[in-house]
């Protein structure tokens, strides 16, 4: 191993108090989403931090008060060496007033070898470790031959996809690491898409006409959209069971691909027959599927269900998929991510993990979703790798192990160095 690299790997442990201080600083920025629109100060901190380390900065508002920050450190020989994106989100999970925290969630405390505070595990721990690795490389005067891009994005907690905006802006690399909560597993993920199914009557009726709709001789071809939505829900359950039997993916229990009827809205008043009903669903799918594919499957199945009903045949349901924000338009998409186990960057990351922790790296799948799928969607090979576990993410008294944070920082530092020294 390069002697300079070995020296700074030791420095991570020797200077772990600085790493902890950096994480505490990030936690003190109150960036819960919802309500969101509150990351400006935190992103200003990241901007200044990266500028001091020689990064060129691109900072723009995705939403007012919620800017993305992308820092680019040009390599000394980028045409001949591999490039890397390090990606993490600055927003953290919301905090409810009735949650029983030991202290203010944004006033971090250290106890029993852990940092406690909102975002410690998801995912300011990952951001702090990555930034500290960059700091140590800079202080050691190490010049990377390949380009290094650092993305501090917004909106992951509420489906606002700051990472997607980076991809739209043209940022790319030979590999990307999303430093989100993975308990130091190298992970892919399934995907999630939300959707609205709407059943709407062409006419509106007084509730006194119900007898004519449902009894023999009533001669009124009409229906309650709420009751018709019950047929749609039954159809979704049938498809969900079919998926559980017919689809699978290594690392997931059977039936992980689900269709959740999450919210139903219908009717206008007790004196009316319900003339419109809307169902909000959340669909989980496997890493080898796309959100376009699963939404098409659902539409085809539900339209076939509708054809079997005399009223729905003439008043077929309509569909709206995804959205750009759970806050703005009540919708989101998280594309899936398959990790290519033979990709050179994955092997380099595995090697870095095994060298630092002296244990075999685990390559598996996350039970949740991150922004990692947007890289896959953009054709950029990627993996999730970060400190913290999902038992603590979003939890009261959220925390991350200092020992794990130190190990993660060492692994990432070694990986950045090795990958950006890899020839194309």
d(CA 371, CA 376): 10
Q: Which of 91, 289, 338, 398 is catalytic?
A: 91
Coil, strand or helix at 196? strand
Please pick, among 66, 122, 147, 156, the residue that the annotation labels catalytic: 156
Beta strands in 236-329 (DSSP E): 259-266, 276-285, 318-321
Q: Is 267:277 a contact under the CB 8 Å cutoff?
A: yes
Of the chain, the end-to-end C-alpha distance in Å amounts to 20
Q: For residues 218 and 205, give the distance between their C-alpha atoms in angstroms, rounded to a whole number.
A: 14
Q: What is the DSSP letter of 199?
A: E
Alpha-carbon distance of 121 to 118, in angstroms, equals 8
Report which of 105, 140, 158 is spatially closest to residue 6, judged by C-alpha positions: 140
Specify burial of residue 244 (Cβ count, 10 A radius: 0-12, 13-18, 19+). Answer: middle
Residue 102 a catalytic site member: no
Asked if 265 is an active-site residue, the reply is no
Beta bridge partners of 110: 115
Active-site amino acid positions: 91, 156
């Amino acid at each position: 191993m390069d002697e300079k690299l070995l020296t700074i790997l030791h420095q991570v442990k020797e200077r772990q108090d600085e790493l902890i201080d950096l994480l505490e600083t990030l936690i003190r920025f109150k960036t819960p989403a919802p309500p969101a629109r509150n990351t400006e100060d935190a992103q200003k901190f990241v901007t200044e931090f990266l500028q001091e380390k020689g990064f060129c900065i691109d900072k723009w508002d995705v939403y007012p008060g919620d800017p993305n920050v992308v820092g680019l450190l040009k390599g000394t020989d980028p045409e001949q060496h591999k490039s890397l994106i390090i990606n993490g989100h600055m927003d953290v999970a919301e905090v409810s007033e009735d949650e029983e925290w030991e202290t203010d969630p944004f006033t971090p405390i250290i106890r029993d070898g852990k940092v406690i505070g909102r975002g410690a595990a998801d995912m300011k721990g990952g951001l702090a470790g990555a930034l500290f690795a960059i700091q140590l490389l800079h202080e050691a005067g190490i010049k990377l031959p390949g380009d290094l891009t650092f993305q501090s994005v917004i909106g992951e907690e509420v489906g606002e996809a700051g990472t997607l905006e980076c991809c739209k802006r043209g940022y790319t690399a030979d590999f990307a690491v999303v430093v989100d909560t993975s308990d130091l597993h190298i992970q892919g993920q399934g995907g999630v898409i939300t959707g609205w199914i709407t059943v709407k009557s062409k006419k509106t009726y007084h509730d006194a006409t119900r007898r004519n709709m449902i009894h023999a001789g009533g001669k009124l071809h009409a229906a309650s959209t709420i009751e018709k939505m019950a047929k749609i829900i039954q159809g979704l359950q049938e498809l969900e069971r079919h998926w559980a039997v017919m689809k699978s993916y290594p690392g997931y229990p059977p039936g992980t691909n689900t269709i959740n009827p999450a919210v139903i809205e219908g009717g206008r008043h007790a004196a009316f027959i319900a003339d419109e009903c809307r169902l909000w669903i959340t669909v989980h799918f496997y890493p080898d599927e796309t959100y376009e594919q699963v939404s098409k499957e659902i539409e085809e199945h539900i339209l076939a269900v509708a054809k079997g009903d005399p009223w729905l045949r003439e008043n077929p349901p309509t569909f709206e998929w995804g959205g750009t924000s759970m806050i703005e338009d009540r919708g989101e998409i998280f594309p899936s991510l398959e990790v290519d186990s033979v990709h050179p960057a994955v092997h380099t990351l595995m090697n870095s993990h095994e060298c630092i922790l002296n244990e075999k790296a685990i390559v598996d799948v996350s039970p949740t979703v991150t922004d990692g799928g947007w890289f896959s969607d953009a054709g950029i090979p990627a993996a999730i790798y970060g400190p913290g576990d999902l038992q603590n993410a979003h939890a009261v008294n959220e925390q991350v192990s200092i020992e794990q944070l130190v190990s993660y920082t060492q692994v990432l530092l070694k990986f950045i160095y090795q990958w950006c020294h890899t020839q194309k």
